[in-house]
């Protein structure tokens, strides 16, 4: 079984990849930096020697590159069993005063990348009538939060894509799950003085994604909502 993960070398992406690798899934990963991908590949192959790890450096915000990544997967005869659209981009701010171009960048990375990669891989899934797609959204997709600006808009759009895609894929036996985590320690929080007790661990999200992938063909977890135990930040 193969799991394809975007933004796989850090934070939630890395934790999700590790959960699936430990369970014997082959990993197909992309991120922006070849060095980070190689480090992850070496680590996983040393710890999980029965799996394969295939990587490719991709600029997720470039529509042609992400479509090319999907085509490269298919041309490599890799069956897309599980797709995790995890790659994301966050810049704090408010709609009324964020820099020009912010919403375009957020949409390119947080929405269009998932749209293009999913569309590229879907025909192979639809032909086999199986597969599971996870879109990593955010609690900000349905709960307005301070200082999230266009990030919240882009994640709201990704949540909408997920809901519509789920309906379209029902006749093809393909599951589609929205993952809506609250504050989770990842690159966005590096360098902050956040109290560890106020924020979730990336592995919390990874465990839920993996668990949802293990249900029978007749059941689907539509939405995974996780928040810090003490509430949103």
| Each residue's pLDDT tens digit, 178-210 | 999 998 877 656 666 777 778 899 999 999 999
Is 202 a member of any domain? Answer: yes
Is 155 a member of any domain? Answer: yes
C-alpha angle 212-168-132 in degrees, rounded to nearest 5: 25
Is 232 a member of any domain? Answer: no
- Concerning whether 151 is annotated as a catalytic residue, the answer is yes
Range of weakest confidence among 20-29, 61-70, 83-92, 212-221: 83-92
Is 93 a member of any domain? Answer: yes
Q: Is the pTM of this model over 0.85?
A: yes
Predicted pLDDT at 91? 86
What is the count of structural domains for the chain? 1
Is 137 a member of any domain? Answer: yes
Which residue among the candidates 25, 89, 115, 151 is catalytic per the annotation?
A: 151
Parent domain of 104: 2-226
Average pLDDT of the chain?
Answer: 94
Predicted pLDDT at 102? 92
Is 58 a member of any domain? Answer: yes
CATH number where 181 lies: 3.40.50.720
Cβ pair 107, 63 in contact under 8 A: no
- pLDDT-based confidence at residue 177 (cuts at 50, 70, 90): very high
Is 231 a member of any domain? Answer: no
Is 15 a member of any domain? Answer: yes
159 contacts: CB under 8 Å, gap ≥ 6: 135, 137, 141, 142, 178, 180
221: helix, strand or coil: coil
223 DSSP β-pair partners: 178
| Each residue's pLDDT tens digit, 208-217 | 999 999 999 9
């Amino acid at each position: 079984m193969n799991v394809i993960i975007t933004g796989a070398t850090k934070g939630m992406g890395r934790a999700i990849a590790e959960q699936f690798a430990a369970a014997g899934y082959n990993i197909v990963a992309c991120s922006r930096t070849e060095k980070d991908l190689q480090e992850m590949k070496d680590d996983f192959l040393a710890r999980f020697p029965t799996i394969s790890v295939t990587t490719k450096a991709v600029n997720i915000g470039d529509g042609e590159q992400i479509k090319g990544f999907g085509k490269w997967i298919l041309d490599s005869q890799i069956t897309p069993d599980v797709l995790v659209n995890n790659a994301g981009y966050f810049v704090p701010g408010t709609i009324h005063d964020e820099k020009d171009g912010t919403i375009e960048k957020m949409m390119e990375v947080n929405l269009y990348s998932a749209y293009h990669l999913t569309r590229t891989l879907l025909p192979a899934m639809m032909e086999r009538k199986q597969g599971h797609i996870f879109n990593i959204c955010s609690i900000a997709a349905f709960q307005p939060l301070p200082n999230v600006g266009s990030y919240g808009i882009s994640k709201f759009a990704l949540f909408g894509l997920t809901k519509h895609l789920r309906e379209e894929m029902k006749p093809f036996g393909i599951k589609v799950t929205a993952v809506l985590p609250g504050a989770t320690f990842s690159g966005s929080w590096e360098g902050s003085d956040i109290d560890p007790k106020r924020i979730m661990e990336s592995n919390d999200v990874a465990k839920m994604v993996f668990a949802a992938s293990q249900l029978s063909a007749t059941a689907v977890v539509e939405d995974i909502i996780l928040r810090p135990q003490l509430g949103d930040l």
